[in-house]
A and B are shown apart, each in its own frame.
Chain A
Amino acid sequence: EDQVTQSPEALRLQEGESSSLNCSYTVSGLRGLFWYRQDPGKGPEFLFTLYSAGEEKEKERLKATLTKKESFLHITAPKPEDSATYLCAVQTAGGYQKVTFGTGTKLQVIP
């Protein structure tokens, strides 16, 4: 059974304090790994897709990396507006869209 585990569940940072969120996965036949951001009361919003180990993607203060077992979302010098829940999802080969979501990391950035 495909499993996706995100850690930590919650993270509190001071503004400017860099850190990383982890997404570890156990799946067969990874097609892609997705990162989404979810603000309270809203639907998830796409950030990145990673397809193969060693791949990296960047967007503003966020950088996502991928290995064969896990992905990291690095947040450099975060700002309060980066506060959100970050969701990781993995897509595997399957007869339908086989996407397994993690439970997310709730990030709070304090001014």
Chain B
Amino acid sequence: DAGITQSPRYKITETGRQVTLMCHQTWSHSYMFWYRQDLGHGLRLIYYSAAADITDKGEVPDGYVVSRSKTENFPLTLESATRSQTSVYFCASSLSLNEKLFFGSGTQLSVL
């Protein structure tokens, strides 16, 4: 099916481990984003990408790394997971900078 897909849906890991969350979109949207959603906070931008090989920090980038070698993929890596990174992570894409966002179904990550 066309759209934006995230994997895994659920992930449990331990502190200090490296974790990669995957995001794939089939629309050829230029912009892709990673958000985290926590109780009491709105969605917060971690990183975004304007095109392949172009990425930039958002509001809460510390502890995260992204790459975008292909337009359709935008993986998010937690280099050394911490408990504070327990959250629901959403990948999103948009056609251009000022357009509406299309979200994936999210990855629920628990860091023990």
Contacts and interface: CB of A to CB of B under 8 A. Distances in A.
Interface of A: 4, 31-32, 34, 36, 41-46, 49, 87, 89, 91, 96-97, 99-104
A49 B95 CA distance: 15
A43 B42 contact: no
Given A44-B90, A44-B103, 17 more contacts: A31-B98, A34-B100, A34-B101, A36-B101, A42-B106, A43-B105, A46-B101, A89-B42, A89-B43, A96-B48, A97-B33, A97-B45, A97-B94, A99-B45, A99-B101, A101-B43, A103-B41
Q: Secondary structure at chain A's binding surface: helix, strand, loop or mixed?
A: strand
Interface string B40-77: 11111100100000001010000000000000000000
A49 B100 contact: yes
A29 to B, nearest CB: 12
B92 A103 contact: no
A91 B96 CA distance: 13
A104 B97 CA distance: 23
Contacts, number: 52
Contacts of A43: 90, 92, 103-106
B42 A102 contact: yes
A104 B43 CA distance: 10
A34 B43 CA distance: 13
Contacts of A89: 42-43
Nearest to B104: A43
B42 A104 contact: yes
Given A87-B43, A103-B42, A41 B105 contact: yes
Contacts of A99: 45, 101
